[in-house]
């Protein structure tokens, strides 16, 4: 492997990598606009020029492969002059409307202008002005802010494969545009706003909602399909304002789809359950937490003593975290109803594969695999094949249903009928649905952005989610609710915290680790049924 | 703990330091007359008090009082809802909701612009941060309200302050 020197420091770089990658490894930062690790190399922004010994001109660090004995300097006067010149050129036609630009605060052009820029402009001529254009379902194009890095063009060609974006005209009139009659409406379009280093492509959904420096970012996992893209929840004042993909080579690479991007709206929706409800004279009425726990546990005990544990059924949705599934299964085990433990599957959709290898899976719920892993660990072998058979629950006298917001509608209807027929149906969920309408008692739970735990994706990657804020109103944390119900029935569980449940999970399930050990990029379960990860 | 702090001794020392009063001092009359003389002398000197609120104090041109939101030539709010003022505000008393502007030549404008004048510390950082000279502090210092809520000025009230004070000139009055 070639050994090169960058700023007097030696590094053994991999064959075929570039100066920029070697410098990144050393922790030496070279500015970049057009370079993106998830896209091909263009070398067109010219900001990453570095001095290489025996080369008459500055070479582009992003596009120059390393060679044995190369001596690179990134801090010389010539390099700095190059950066200053590039900055000045890029700002020639830039409108400098940072005060009204949503990108301000996370704009690479803004940051580099401070770090590498000239500080003033010698351009006295008229700037080229352009109107903003509506170019897609969620994209606006402000072409005059563009610096022609062509990240969007390469993204549309290589990753989404839809090729809607192109470079038009020549010279000073060069601009990014969308081909006539075409809109950027594919399901990866949102990434274009993310990778745009300036405010040329902006998301309509996030437009003018908040300034980016007001947002806090919480690491989480997208719940909209069983790929489980690593995401950042950008939130302020207890509301999520946008989702961004978080680089994870094990799962999603650099990208995420627009289905997941818009899924956050459920967290702040008006359909959220905010108070515990109980049926009085046929109507669901608000009730206090202590009462609802006491009544519910009393009714469950009553059913067990009168009709036996087999009259009781437990259903958990694929929205639950592994830790919640564990507590739920433990509760079923303690009451002796393990044979009636069922999975409420997630919504199903079309499996969509993109040119760059990014996949949106047909299972549109976050944790079907994890919940199944946990349920199968607990359930007796002979009833395991009935784990998704919700029809077999008809005629059960008591139901405890842990419902999710990504559950299959048909199954919810089926369960709603079973709940209406049962003596007692306890429904635990975060949004109102036909199921909560049919329930005897409703327990308001948390959404994924409000809780802690782990999700297991389709390929067995175990990823941790972090709570961004508290659930709305009186809604509680699902894990605690199940614990309380178990305690009130008289079957206290051997753990009290999510962390302890996670440790228990790691002990019991093959290939699982506790949530502290998953790290930011997740733990790949070596025993998982489907191996490998999505390319991205 | 046998040792006690020696407070007694210290007090004695202080008493001894004080001025010992003689017979005339103990009459108190000379001191009284001296005070009265001072009072009466001021009756004939220049007066500094003003009859507020009939008379109002002339404030200095850089005085920082109640905020106003400036209007442009077309009478629209000048503010572009960039949130610079609310970001810099050390008292966090500015609340803005931005939206797409209804005018073709403008990108963004504030739908809501509230300032809690009770929380404000009148430091003037907002007017310094403003890139479009939309927010300014006026010379108005007498704000009255029946409740705390009355002193949360919204966009309409702040624009109205501009109409009331526009002939007094802009923020750059001291330059």
| Contact (CB<8Å) A207/B131 | no
The whole-angstrom distance between B98's CA and the closest CA on chain A is: 6
Find the residue in A nearest to B84 (Cα): A99
Find the residue in A nearest to B95 (Cα): A210
pLDDT at B168: 74
- Where in chain A is CATH 3.10.20.740? 3-75
Binning chain B into helix, strand and coil, the percentages to the nearest 5 are: 35, 15, 50
pLDDT of residue B99 exceeding 90, the answer is yes
| Contact (CB<8Å) A208/B83 | no
Which residue of A144, A210, A211 to mutate against B (max B Cβ within 10 Å)? Answer: A211
CA distance A24 to A319: 38
pLDDT in tens, B12-60: 555 566 677 888 888 999 999 999 999 999 999 988 888 988 988 888 8
pLDDT in tens, A206-264: 999 999 999 999 999 999 999 999 999 999 999 999 999 999 999 999 999 999 999 99
B170 pLDDT band (50/70/90 cuts)? low
CB contact, 8 Å: B42 with chain A? no
Task: Report the CATH number of the A277-454+467-495 domain.
Answer: 3.40.50.740
CA distance B73 to B70: 10
Can you read off the two tokens belonging to residue A46? 């010219």
Say if strands A424-429 and A441-444 run parallel, antiparallel, or are unpaired. parallel
Q: From chain A, pick out residues whose CB is under 8 angstroms from the CB of B98.
A: 208
CA distance B79 to A175: 30
Instruction: Give Dmax over CA atoms of chain A in angstroms.
Output: 91
How many Cβ atoms are within 10 Å of A519's Cβ, its own excluded?
Answer: 13
Q: Is the peptide bond before B53 cis (omega within 30 degrees of 0)?
A: yes
Terminal Cα-to-Cα distance of chain B (whole angstroms):
68
CA distance A208 to A189: 19
**ipTM above 0.95 for this complex:** no
The whole-angstrom distance between A376's CA and the closest CA on chain B is: 50
Can you read off the two tokens belonging to residue A351? 């499996």
CA distance A212 to A232: 13
| Contact (CB<8Å) A99/B132 | yes
Q: From chain A, pick out residues whose CB is under 8 angstroms from the CB of B87.
A: 211, 213-214
Which residue of B108, B113, B133, B135 to mutate against A (max A Cβ within 10 Å)? Answer: B108
Among candidates B100, B131, B132 on the partner chain, residue whose Cβ is nearest the Cβ of A208:
B100
Q: Are the C-beta atoms of residues A512 and A518 closer than 8 Å to each other?
A: no
> What b/e sequence results for A128-154 when a residue is b if at least 16 CB atoms lie within 10 Å of its CB, and e otherwise?
eebeeeebbbbbbbbbbbbbbbbbbbb
| Contact (CB<8Å) B81/A97 | no
**CATH of range A3-75; options 2.40.50.140, 3.10.20.740, 3.40.50.2300, 3.20.20.60:** 3.10.20.740
Top pLDDT among B8 and A359 is at: A359
How many Cβ atoms are within 10 Å of B12's Cβ, its own excluded?
Answer: 10
Among candidates A99, A208, A214 on the partner chain, residue whose Cβ is nearest the Cβ of B84:
A99
Q: From chain B, pick out residues whose CB is under 8 angstroms from the CB of A97.
A: 107
> What b/e sequence results for B136-163 when a residue is b if at least 16 CB atoms lie within 10 Å of its CB, and e otherwise?
bbbbbeeeeeeeeeebbbebebbbebbe
pLDDT at B166: 85
Find the residue in B nearest to A214 (Cα): B87
3-state secondary structure A475-500: CCCHHHHHHHHHHHHCCCCCCCCHHH
Which residue of B107, B126, B129, B134 to mutate against A (max A Cβ within 10 Å)? Answer: B107
Q: Are the C-beta atoms of residues A233 and A264 closer than 8 Å to each other?
A: yes
CB contact, 8 Å: B100 with chain A? yes
Q: From chain B, pick out residues whose CB is under 8 angstroms from the CB of A213.
A: 87
pLDDT at A118: 82
| Contact (CB<8Å) B108/A213 | no
Residue A333, CB-side half-sphere exposure with 13 Å CA sphere: 16
Q: From chain A, pick out residues whose CB is under 8 angstroms from the CB of B81.
A: 100, 208
CB contact, 8 Å: B87 with chain A? yes
Terminal Cα-to-Cα distance of chain A (whole angstroms):
26
pLDDT at A535: 39
Among candidates A100, A213, A214 on the partner chain, residue whose Cβ is nearest the Cβ of B107:
A100
CB contact, 8 Å: B129 with chain A? no
Q: Mean pLDDT throughout B135-147?
A: 91
| Contact (CB<8Å) A208/B99 | yes
Pairs of residues, one from chain A and one from chain B, whose beta carbons lie less than 8 Å apart: 26
Phi, psi values for residue B88, rounded to 5°: -80, -25
Q: From chain B, pick out residues whose CB is under 8 angstroms from the CB of A104.
A: 82
The whole-angstrom distance between B93's CA and the closest CA on chain A is: 15
Q: From chain A, pick out residues whose CB is under 8 angstroms from the CB of B82.
A: 98-100, 104, 211
- Where in chain A is CATH 3.40.50.740? 277-454+467-495
The whole-angstrom distance between A14's CA and the closest CA on chain B is: 45
Q: From chain B, pick out residues whose CB is under 8 angstroms from the CB of A207.
A: 100
Q: Which residues of A touch B (CB under 8 A)?
A: 97-100, 104, 132, 207-208, 211, 213-214
| Contact (CB<8Å) B80/A208 | no
pLDDT at B48: 85
Residue by residue, pLDDT tens for chain A (536 residues) are 899 999 999 999 999 999 999 999 999 999 999 999 999 999 999 999 999 999 999 999 999 999 999 999 999 999 999 999 999 999 999 999 999 999 999 999 999 999 999 888 899 999 988 889 999 999 999 999 999 999 999 999 999 999 999 999 998 889 999 999 999 999 999 999 999 999 999 999 999 999 999 999 999 999 999 999 999 999 999 999 999 999 999 999 999 999 999 999 999 999 999 999 999 988 999 999 999 999 999 999 999 999 999 999 999 999 999 999 999 999 999 999 999 999 999 999 999 999 999 999 999 999 999 999 999 999 999 888 889 999 888 889 999 999 989 999 999 999 999 999 999 999 999 999 999 999 999 999 999 999 999 999 998 999 999 999 999 999 999 999 999 999 999 888 889 999 999 999 999 999 999 999 999 999 998 887 654 444 33
Top pLDDT among B104 and B4 is at: B104
């Amino acid at each position: 492997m070639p050994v090169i020197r960058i700023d007097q420091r030696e590094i053994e770089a991999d064959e075929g990598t570039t100066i920029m990658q070697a410098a990144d490894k050393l922790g030496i930062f070279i500015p970049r606009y057009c370079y993106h690790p998830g896209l091909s190399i263009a070398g067109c922004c010219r900001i990453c020029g570095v001095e290489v010994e025996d080369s008459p001109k500055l070479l582009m660090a992003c596009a120059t492969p390393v060679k044995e004995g190369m001596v690179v300097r990134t801090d010389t006067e010539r390099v700095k002059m190059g950066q200053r010149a590039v900055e000045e050129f890029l700002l020639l036609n830039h409108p400098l409307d940072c005060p009204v630009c949503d990108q301000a605060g996370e704009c690479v052009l803004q940051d580099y202008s401070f770090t590498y820029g000239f500080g003033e402009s010698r351009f006295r001529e008229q700037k080229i002005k352009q109107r903003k254009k509506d170019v897609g379902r969620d994209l606006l194009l402000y072409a005059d802010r563009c610096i022609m890095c062509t990240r969007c063009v390469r993204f549309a060609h290589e990753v989404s494969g839809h090729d809607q974006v192109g470079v038009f005209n020549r010279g000073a009139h060069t601009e990014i545009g969308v081909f006539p009659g075409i809109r950027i409406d594919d399901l990866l379009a949102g990434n274009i706003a993310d990778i745009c280093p300036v405010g040329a492509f902006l998301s309509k959904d996030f437009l003018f909602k908040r300034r980016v420096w007001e947002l806090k970012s919480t690491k989480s996992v997208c719940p909209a399909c069983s790929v489980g893209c690593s995401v950042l929840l950008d939130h302020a004042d207890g509301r999520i304002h946008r989702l961004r993909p978080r680089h994870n080579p094990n799962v999603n690479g650099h990208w995420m789809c627009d289905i997941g991007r818009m899924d956050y709206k459920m967290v702040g929706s008006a359909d959220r359950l905010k108070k515990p409800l109980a049926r009085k004279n046929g109507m669901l009425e608000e009730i206090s937490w202590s009462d609802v726990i006491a009544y519910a546990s009393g009714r469950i005990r009553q059913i067990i003593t009168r009709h036996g544990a087999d009259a009781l059924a437990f259903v958990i949705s694929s929205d639950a975290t592994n830790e919640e599934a564990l507590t739920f299964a433990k509760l079923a085990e303690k009451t002796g109803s393990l044979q009636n433990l069922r999975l409420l599957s997630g919504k199903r959709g079309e499996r969509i594969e993109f040119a760059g290898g990014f996949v949106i899976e047909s299972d549109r719920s976050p944790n079907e695999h994890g919940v199944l892993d946990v349920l199968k660990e607990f359930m007796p072998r002979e009833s395991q094949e009935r784990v998704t058979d919700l029809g077999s629950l008809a005629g059960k006298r008591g139901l405890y249903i842990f419902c999710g917001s990504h559950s299959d509608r048909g199954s919810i209807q089926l369960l709603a009928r079973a709940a209406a027929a049962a003596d007692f149906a306890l429904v635990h969920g975060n949004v109102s649905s036909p199921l909560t309408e049919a329930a005897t008692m409703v327990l308001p739970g948390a959404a994924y952005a409000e809780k802690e735990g782990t999700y297991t994706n389709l390929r067995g990657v175990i990823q941790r989610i972090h709570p961004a804020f508290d659930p709305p109103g009186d809604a509680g944390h699902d894990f605690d609710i199940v614990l309380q119900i178990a305690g009130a029935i008289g079957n206290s569980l051997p753990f009290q915290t999510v962390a302890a449940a996670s440790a228990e999970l790691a002990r019991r399930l093959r290939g699982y680790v506790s949530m502290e050990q998953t790290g930011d990029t997740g733990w790949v379960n070596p025993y998982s049924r489907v191996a490998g990860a999505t390319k991205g | 703990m046998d040792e006690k702090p020696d407070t007694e001794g210290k007090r004695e020392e202080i008493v001894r330091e004080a001025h010992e009063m003689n017979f005339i001092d103990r009459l108190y009359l000379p001191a009284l007359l001296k005070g009265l003389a001072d009072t009466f002398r001021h009756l004939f000197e220049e007066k500094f008090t003003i009859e507020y609120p009939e008379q109002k104090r002339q404030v200095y041109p850089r005085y920082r009082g109640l905020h106003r939101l400036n209007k442009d030539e077309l009478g629209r709010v000048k503010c572009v809802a960039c949130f610079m003022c609310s970001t810099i505000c050390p008292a966090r008393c500015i609340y803005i909701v931005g939206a797409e502007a209804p005018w073709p030549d403008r990108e963004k404008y504030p739908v809501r612009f509230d300032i809690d004048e009770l929380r404000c510390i009148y430091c003037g950082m907002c007017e310094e941060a403003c890139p479009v000279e939309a927010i300014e502090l006026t010379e108005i210092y007498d704000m009255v309200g029946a409740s705390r809520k009355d002193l949360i000025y919204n966009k309409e009230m702040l624009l109205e302050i501009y109409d009331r004070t526009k002939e007094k000139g802009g923020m750059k009055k001291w330059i």
